[in-house]
Structure 1
Amino acid sequence: MRSVDEHLTEILGGVAALPPLDLALLEAHGTVLAEPVTAPVPLPPFDNSAMDGYAVVAADIAAATEADPVVLPVVGDIVAGDSGVSAIRPGLTARIMTGAPVPAGADAVIPVEWTDGGNANVRVSRAAPAGNYIRRAGEDVVAGQVVVDAGTRLGAPQIGMIAAVGRSRVTVRPKPRVVVVATGDELREPGSPLGHGQIWESNAYMLTAAVAEAGGTGFRQATVEDEPGKVLEMFEDQLVRADAIVTTGGVSMGTKDVVKEVLAGTGTVGFHKVRMRPGKPQGFGLLEGTPVFTLPGNPVSAYVSFQVFVRPALRAMQGLDSDPLPTVSAVLANDVKSPAGLRHFMRGKLSFDRGAYTVTAAEVQGSHQLGSLASANALIELPEDVEFLPAGSHVDVMRLPS
C-alpha cells in the first residue's frame, strides 16, 4: 500500500493548470484571475458629493446655528453625471446630488437635513469643516494600483471592482469541466421504482455538487452498467469535453469491478491501495492527456477521496495552491479509536465557543453510512500511528464546505 501523501503527490504531478482564456466579465464569475488588474485612473476620478445637499464655502457657514441660520443664494443644480464645468464663489451655494462633481470654489457639502431645502435661497442651520461630505479623487483607488491580484477567484465584489476600473474582459483560468459518472448494475435514478437488490444512485449527484464547491463545472453522466464495453464507450465519449473525469465504483477487488478492468494498463492510469480509511482503493492517471480519478463506490469513501485527492487537483488546474480543506485544531469531545497503520478521516461535528474549537466524532463511521456524513461539518484527521485518543485530546480537523 502507498500513503495518502504519496498518492496525492502522484496526482499533483500529473495535472497542470488549464490554459488561460479571455472572457467577458460576467462570464468570468467564479473563475480564477490569471493577470493582475490595475486601475488606469483614480477612483473616484474626481471630487464628488457623498450626500444630497448644497455645495458651499465652509467659511461662509462657520457661524450657522439653529437659532441663527446663514442664508445663501442658490445659483444652480449639479447632478450626478454633470459634465459641465461649474464653480461657485464665496457667499453663494449650489444644490448638489450624491455622486455629482463638487464645483470649483466649494470646499464642503451640507446635507439637505441641515437646511430648509430652499430653491432660490437656502437657510443653513449648522456649520461644517472643509471637506465635509466630499469624496476625494483617489481616496478609494489610486491610478496604477493593482485592484485584483492574479490568482484571485472572482466573486461579486471582484467583478464589481474590475468593472469599476473600466475593464469589460479579463484573462482567467477557466473552471475545470469535470465529468462525474457512477457505475453499477444495482443503481437506479432517484425518482424511479426500486427492484430487489437495487439502490438509488447518489454518489454522482454528491460528487458533481462537490466539483462546483471546488470551483469546477460538474457534468453528471448517466449511470453506466457493469459491462466493459459500455464503460469504455463512456470514457471515449466524455474525453472530448472533459478537463477531468471522476468515476465512482468498480475499482476494488470484485469480479464486476469493470472500471479497473477497462482502465488497467490504459494510458497512465494505475490502481493502488492507499493507507486510509475510508477510501483504500484508489486509481489515477492520464487518459489521452485527461486526468482520470477512479474513486471507491461506498458513498463516504467516494466523498472523502474527493476532498483529499480530487479537490487539490482541481485547485491546481485553476492555477491555485493545491491546499487541503481548511484545517483547524480542535479538542475532542469523545473518545475515538482508529485502525493501526491507516490515516483515518472520521466524520464529526465542529463547534466554536469561547475562542476554541471542539469536535464530536459521529457515533457511526461506516463507509456506507451517508446519514452521518450529511449531518457532519468536519473530518477529524487521525494519523497512521494513532489507535486511540481520549476525550480532551487535540486533533486536526478539516472543515467541510458549508
Structure 2
Amino acid sequence: MIKKLTSFKEAEKKVFSKIDSYVKNKIKIVPLIDAINKVSAEEIIANENLPYFNKAAMDGYAVIAEDTYGASYTNPIILELSNDVEHGKAKKVFTGDPIPDNTNAVIMKEFCREENGLLEIYKTVHPNENVAKIGEDVKKGDVIINKHEKITPYHINLLASLAIKEIAIYDLKFGIIATGDELEDLENANLEKLKRTKKIVNSNSYMLYALIKDLGFDGKIYGIVRDDKDMLKEMIKKALKENDFIITTGGTSVGDRDLTVKAIKELGNIILHGVNIRPGKPFGLGEVNNKLIFLLSGYPVASAVQFELFIYRYFLKRKSVVLPLKRSLASELGRVDFVRVKIDSGVEPIRISGSGVITSLVKCDGYILIPENVEGYEKGEMVEVFIL
C-alpha cells in the first residue's frame, strides 16, 4: 500500500544517488569500434589540436597570399611550381594535404593554369583562405565527449582522429520480469484466443527491452510470473544472479493482487514507493542483495514514463527546445505532470490521456514536465519541450 507520495525531485535524487553508487563499479574500457551507441562513463579532453598541422581545404596550390595580390584574368600573376615554397613559388596540393610551413593560403585549381613548370594565377587569395588551420576543428583541452553522453559514429571519427583508441563505457545488464495472471506471452498470442480469454499480450517487456537496448545496455526478458508471491520471489532471485539491475512491470499499485512490493520487502527493502507524478504514480525502487530493482507500472504509458524519468534521464540528457504552447494545459499543485506532445512550429499536447493508451506514445515526439508548483500553462506560453 502506498502510504505517502514522494515528490518528484526527492524521488529523482534518491534514485539517481542509488544508481550512482552502483554504476561506478560497472565501467568497462572498450575499443572505439565497440563503443558505438554506448553511454560514455568518462569526460574526454582533446590531447592535441585538430588538425595538428595547417592543411589544404581545397584542391589547388599552396602559396604565399601576398604573391597573388592584384591577380585577375586580364592581369595573371605567374609563379614557379616547386616543393620548396618561397616568394614567387607555389606547390600543388590536394584537399587534406599539409601545406608548407611558410605558405598561408591555397588558391583553388579552377583559378589557375599550369604549364611547363609555371602557374598562371587569375584570382587574389588572402591569408588563411582555403586553409584548415591548426586547432580549427578542435583545440587542445576542449571537451570532445561528456560523461553520460551517447557515443555516435561522429564521436568515433573524432576520437580516432586524435589517436584515442579506447573509451570507458557503462557496461550494464537489465533483467525484465512481468507479473500478472492477465498477461499472455507474445509467442503464444492469438488474437481470437486473447479476445475470448480477456487476456493481454506482455507487450511491456518488449518495450522495456527496446528502451534498454536504445541506451546501449544488455537486456533479458524473463517472461511472465503469475500472481504468486513465492514464484515471483524465486524469479527475482534468479534474475539478480544474472543481471546488474532488475525491472519489474506490474504489481506496484494498491491491491491484493499486486504482489511485487510485498515480494521485494521479504527479500530486501523498499527504498521508495509512490511518486507524485502523472502518469506513473506507483513507481518504486527496491534493493535486494545490494542490487536495485525498479518497480514499474503494468500500464504501458506509465511504465514508459517511469523508465524515462528514473532510468533514461540518469544516463542521458534529453535535448530540449523552448516553443509556444498551442492550447492551454491544466495541472494540479503538488504533482508533476508528464505531458506528451507533438512538435512543429509550436507545441500541441496530445489529447489522448490515460496510462494505458499506447498510441499516445507512438504519436508523441516530445514531452513537457509541468512542475509541482505550477497549476498549468496558458495557450501561447513558452514552454520547455524535451525531444524524444
Q: Please state which band the TM-score falls in when normalised by the shorter chain.
A: 0.7 to 0.9
Letter in 1 for 2:6: S
One of 162, 166, 177 as aligned partner of 1:165: 162
CA distance in 2, matches of 1:58, 1:394: 53
Return closer, same or farther for 1:348/1:116 CA change in 2, 3 Å cut-off. Answer: same
How far residue 293 of structure 1 moved from its aligned partner, in angstroms, is 0.8
| Structure with higher helix content | 2
How far residue 238 of structure 1 moved from its aligned partner, in angstroms, is 2.2
How far residue 324 of structure 1 moved from its aligned partner, in angstroms, is 8.4
- Give the conservation status (yes or no) of the 8 Å contact 2:80–2:118: yes
CA distance in 1, matches of 2:108, 2:318: 51
Q: Which residue of 2 aligns with 1:371?
A: 359
- Give the conservation status (yes or no) of the 8 Å contact 1:183–1:250: yes
Are 1:18 and 2:14 matched, yes or no? no
- Give the conservation status (yes or no) of the 8 Å contact 2:342–2:363: no
Q: Which residue of 1 aligns with 2:144?
A: 148
CA distance in 2, matches of 1:51, 1:395: 44
Return closer, same or farther for 1:135/1:190 CA change in 2, 3 Å cut-off. Answer: same
What is the SS of the residue equivalent to 1:185?
coil
Return closer, same or farther for 1:382/1:393 CA change in 2, 3 Å cut-off. Answer: farther
CA distance in 1, matches of 2:96, 2:340: 51
Return closer, same or farther for 1:247/1:152 CA change in 2, 3 Å cut-off. Answer: closer
Per-residue CA deviation, residues 330-378 of structure 1 (Å, 9 max, x unaligned), is 546156476xx7726354434454xxx544351x422222223332344
CA distance in 2, matches of 1:167, 1:370: 43
Per-residue CA deviation, residues 6-62 of structure 1 (Å, 9 max, x unaligned), is 4434323432243333221232333224243232x4332223222211233445443
What is the SS of the residue equivalent to 1:269?
strand
How far residue 253 of structure 1 moved from its aligned partner, in angstroms, is 3.7
How far residue 221 of structure 1 moved from its aligned partner, in angstroms, is 0.4
- Give the conservation status (yes or no) of the 8 Å contact 2:271–2:287: no
Are 1:36 and 2:39 matched, yes or no? no
How far residue 138 of structure 1 moved from its aligned partner, in angstroms, is 3.6
How far residue 203 of structure 1 moved from its aligned partner, in angstroms, is 1.1
CA distance in 2, matches of 1:117, 1:133: 19
**Matches for 1:160-239 after TM superposition, within 5 Å:** 160-170=157-167, 172-190=168-186, 192-194=189-191, 195=193, 196-213=197-214, 215-226=215-226, 227-239=228-240
What is the SS of the residue equivalent to 2:211?
helix
Are 1:251 and 2:248 matched, yes or no? no
CA distance in 1, matches of 2:127, 2:283: 69
Unaligned runs of 5+ in 2: none
Q: Which residue of 1 aligns with 2:310?
A: 309
- Give the conservation status (yes or no) of the 8 Å contact 1:177–1:243: yes
**Matches for 1:1-400 after TM superposition, within 5 Å:** 1-5=4-8, 6-15=10-19, 16=21, 17-19=23-25, 20-29=27-36, 30-39=38-47, 41-75=48-82, 86-103=83-100, 105-118=102-115, 120-142=117-139, 144-148=140-144, 150-151=146-147, 153=149, 154-170=151-167, 172-190=168-186, 192-194=189-191, 195=193, 196-213=197-214, 215-226=215-226, 227-269=228-270, 272-312=273-313, 314-315=314-315, 331=325, 333-334=327-328, 336=330, 343=335, 345=337, 347-351=339-343, 353=345, 357-362=346-351, 364-379=352-367, 381=369, 392=379, 399=386
How far residue 300 of structure 1 moved from its aligned partner, in angstroms, is 1.9
Per-residue CA deviation, residues 131-183 of structure 1 (Å, 9 max, x unaligned), is 432333344444x423425525133333322222221113x241543222322
How far residue 100 of structure 1 moved from its aligned partner, in angstroms, is 1.9
How far residue 270 of structure 1 moved from its aligned partner, in angstroms, is 5.4
What is the SS of the residue equivalent to 1:231?
helix
Per-residue CA deviation, residues 186-228 of structure 1 (Å, 9 max, x unaligned), is 3234463142222122112222333345x35151404223144
How far residue 103 of structure 1 moved from its aligned partner, in angstroms, is 2.8
Return closer, same or farther for 1:205/1:52 CA change in 2, 3 Å cut-off. Answer: same
- Give the conservation status (yes or no) of the 8 Å contact 2:85–2:103: yes
Q: What percentage of aligned pairs have identical amino acids? A: 25
CA distance in 1, matches of 2:85, 2:185: 73
How far residue 66 of structure 1 moved from its aligned partner, in angstroms, is 0.8
